Structure 1
Amino acid sequence: MITIEKKLSTSSVYSFHNQIPYEDMVFFDIETTGFSPNNTILYLIGCAYYRDNSWNLIQWFADDNTSEKQILHSFFAFILDYKVLIHFNGEGFDIPYIQKKCAKIGLDYTFDNITSYDIYKKLLPYKKLFKLENFKQKTIEQFLRIPRNDTFSGGELIQVYANFLGMKKLEQLKNRNHEVSPVKNLEARIQYNNNGTTSASDSSVFLQQLLLHNEEDVQGMLPLTQILAYRDLFTDCYLNINASIEKDQLVIHFTLLSALPQGVSYGTDSLYFSAYGDQAILKIELYQNELKFFYDNYKDYYYLPKEDTAIHKSVAFYVDKNFRTRAKAANCYSKKTGRFVPQYEELYTPHFKIDYNDKFSYVEVTDEFLQDSEKICSYVSHILRQLLKL
């Protein structure tokens, strides 16, 4: 086993609103020769951690195919000092792979004493917001403009690792016999050399490619955490909120708690949201017409067909029986004309509908509503959640 340690230079990491100190978190990623822990090799684990005011990297690499136990011993001993294990889709692959691998080779390590924080799962409910072709780590890094030098996929590195083991064995034989033995597919191995000048017998070429891929996966997670700022859009907490009527729209300007690393826009013809940095705007089309307020207990009301409205029994007593009927749920209403915006859950009352069976209702936009920052905050969050469902 080889252990590699180095300092990392990285852009800012998401603050986690100071709920998780950097000193308590460790980022990790693994490299294997396949998906099944029963018949594949765990050959590399990399971790990023914060110490002495800087981010650092440690990697444990299997320079032969018998180092899995050493790697796992080193990894689990290392993470004992941390409280939160951060990863990208680690709950989908890395963690269950390690758990099954430990069981297979007779190690009793578990993740019971450390909290798992899966960036992928935290972001998944908001994936529509980003309009990405897929939700892989490299794709999100490209969205955030995080640079990479590594060009290999995890699958492609399986062959690189095989080449490393083969080349290392060749070098050992060469040193032992003072001669070079024939190697099959030598040209295929040479092609992994980035600059085209390194000797084909140099296993360090393959080693550097393996380490670089894992390093950039781990290091890339640090600035990638900034994408968690998009989750803060749905917290009900905004600053400097200002709501006004502009032509036929309710327009809400507000400041975000966390600045977004990249601008984003999302919406429909009637609901539209855009944000850049820490500034955001939400536009909702107004419904400016007559709506109905439906009374809860229709059994206590009469419906007046001529007036197309419902009145309480205590008042209907004075109305001629020929001009009233017992109210039903669908006609037990009074009408109101004004300016309204939709609400897709019952946030505020009174609320209004076009028809009784409508799936959503409207709230009236009054001066009082526009000046109530608490209501506007919860309404913004409500509309943003609704946009994710579209």
Structure 2
Amino acid sequence: MKVIQEAFDFNPEKMYPLSGIADRSEILFFDIETTGFSAKTAEIYLIGCVWYGRPEDGAGSDPSSSGGGWQLIQWFAETPDDESDVITAFFDFLSRFRVLIHFNGDMFDIPFITGRCAHLGIRPEFDAVESFDIFRKIRPLRSFFGLDSLKQKSVERFLGIRRTDEYTGGQLIEVYREYVSHPTPARLHLLLLHNADDLRGMPEILPILFYPDLLTRAEFRFLGIDIPESAGNRPEAASPNDISSSEDHLDADFPDAAPANEARTNADFPDVAPANEARAKYSSPSGNGFAELRFQSSVAVPCPVEWEETGFFTRFERNEITVRLPLYSGELKHFYPDYRNYYYLPAEDCAYHKSVAEFVEKSARKKATAKTCYTRTSGVFLPVPSGIFPVTFREDYKSTPEFCEAKEDLFRKTDLSGFLPCLFSGIRAKLLN
């Protein structure tokens, strides 16, 4: 068995905060290389680990000792007979850590090692450590990232991380067999490099976890709204100083706001679509009218992402979130929930409260139902998540989306702290289904 150890440079400022997982002295990253995909017919020929500590800690000292930096260690089976030594050395090293971080290790690496332990008569020692699978935490977000695959190399490319290795684990199986028969430094280099690049990349891809954090636990501050002057509003954006939103607890927790996007030309604006065509055009409005809401997030993402969910086009860039909402012109209905207190007047096609409608001839009125208890309003509207605005409009009863009037003062007076959480709940539901 060969043991290879080296230090490598890593910028912790670009990392996901390890403190959110565990103290860095308690964390061990690991990855394995095998001669196949079944523990019944294949062997482990390489196990590699990354940890934070002193170089000499790899030989048996306490990894929590002060000083040191990021270290990499690999146990390599020069022949299949070394497999049990590789596994035993890994478990001896693992015993000093509390959290084991890996990429898809819950589905492959850990079950594979456990299977090989059963074959070799070795007791697996995973019960004392907490498993942290990066892949499982981001798997629901594959379409959110716009990736065809969630392999580690794909995530690295998404985050702009470069690696030297160009092989897959499957391609290297034959290289290992050739090495066993005819060991050469070149073959050994290829085998070690692939595993080392996976290990070096693992801490570097942790910032991918900022995206699930953004969708589940971030807090937001409303920065303003831009509505085209053609929609009947003043050209200036609503100011957060004019908004009664819940911001008091966010000041120190927020990173600096990202610079606002450059002004857009008229050609960038889609058309104002008639409200009665909302459902048909909602996913792909065209023309020259949309509003943009801007929010600041307590969680900043490393790379821009764009998402469209039933017409809510959202761009995530650093710690600024821009929600683009298409404008719809025409007539919509506001439905009153307490329909038993209303009469519906067919001739006017609207409902009036009983205190007013009781003076109308009985032949000209009907008891309102949930579907007929509405008034009609003409204007310019924006689709909004349900439950944010006290007065909303629909095309018909229970039709989606809901709309509010496209008025800047309405956004100034409304608490928008729940806008993004409501929007994100729809995104999460879409991703998890």
TMscore range, shorter length: 0.7 to 0.9
User: By how many angstroms is 1:269 displaced?
Assistant: 9.7
User: By how many angstroms is 1:365 displaced?
Assistant: 5.4
Residue 90 of structure 2 corresponds to residue 75 of structure 1: yes
Structure 2-normalised TM-score? 0.73
User: By how many angstroms is 1:279 displaced?
Assistant: 3.6
Which AA in structure 1 matches 2:336? Y
Structure 2 unmatched ranges of 5 or more:
54-66, 230-288
- Structure 1 residues 295, 268: closer, same or farther in 2, change over 3 A? closer
Taking the aligned partners of 2:413 and 2:124, their CA distance within structure 1 comes to: 53
- Structure 1 residues 19, 157: closer, same or farther in 2, change over 3 A? closer
Contact 2:218-2:298 at 8 Å conserved across structures: no
Select the residue among 14, 17, 23 that pairs with 1:15: 17
Which AA in structure 2 matches 1:226? P
Alignment partner, residue 183 of structure 1: none
Alignment partner, residue 34 of structure 1: 36
1:168-247 equivalences in 2 (<5 Å)? 168=183, 203-234=184-215, 235-239=217-221, 241-247=223-229
Taking the aligned partners of 1:96 and 1:123, their CA distance within structure 2 comes to: 20
Contact 2:385-2:419 at 8 Å conserved across structures: no
Select the residue among 397, 418, 427 that pairs with 1:378: 418
Select the residue among 269, 273, 277 that pairs with 2:314: 273
Residue 109 of structure 2 corresponds to residue 94 of structure 1: yes
Alignment partner, residue 65 of structure 1: 80
Which AA in structure 2 matches 1:283? R
Which AA in structure 2 matches 1:2? K
- Structure 1 residues 337, 107: closer, same or farther in 2, change over 3 A? farther
Alignment partner, residue 358 of structure 2: 317
Contact 1:241-1:377 at 8 Å conserved across structures: no
User: By how many angstroms is 1:332 displaced?
Assistant: 1.7
User: By how many angstroms is 1:33 displaced?
Assistant: 0.8
User: By how many angstroms is 1:37 displaced?
Assistant: 0.4
Larger Rg: 1
Select the residue among 140, 148, 152 that pairs with 1:137: 152
User: By how many angstroms is 1:303 displaced?
Assistant: 1.2
SS of aligned partner of 1:329: coil
Contact 2:290-2:326 at 8 Å conserved across structures: yes
Select the residue among 254, 268, 286 that pairs with 2:295: 254
- The range that moved more, 357-366 or 347-356, is 357-366
Structure 1 unmatched ranges of 5 or more:
169-202
User: By how many angstroms is 1:205 displaced?
Assistant: 2.1
Equivalent pairs counted in the alignment come to 355
1:340-355 equivalences in 2 (<5 Å)? 340-355=381-396
SS of aligned partner of 2:107: coil
Which AA in structure 1 matches 2:149? N
- The range that moved more, 321-330 or 106-115, is 106-115
Select the residue among 43, 46, 71 that pairs with 1:44: 46
Identity rate, percent: 35
Contact 1:152-1:213 at 8 Å conserved across structures: yes
Which AA in structure 2 matches 1:212? L
SS of aligned partner of 1:322: helix
Taking the aligned partners of 1:82 and 1:239, their CA distance within structure 2 comes to: 39
Which AA in structure 2 matches 1:332? C
Alignment partner, residue 164 of structure 1: 179
- Structure 1 residues 283, 359: closer, same or farther in 2, change over 3 A? closer
Taking the aligned partners of 2:171 and 2:111, their CA distance within structure 1 comes to: 22
SS of aligned partner of 1:97: helix
- Structure 1 residues 364, 55: closer, same or farther in 2, change over 3 A? farther
- Structure 1 residues 109, 349: closer, same or farther in 2, change over 3 A? farther
Select the residue among 343, 365, 369 that pairs with 1:302: 343
Q: What is the CA deviation profile of residues 284-330 of structure 1, one whole-angstrom value per residue up to 9, with x for unaligned ones?
A: 12334433222334344321112222234454433211011122222
- The range that moved more, 257-266 or 1-10, is 257-266
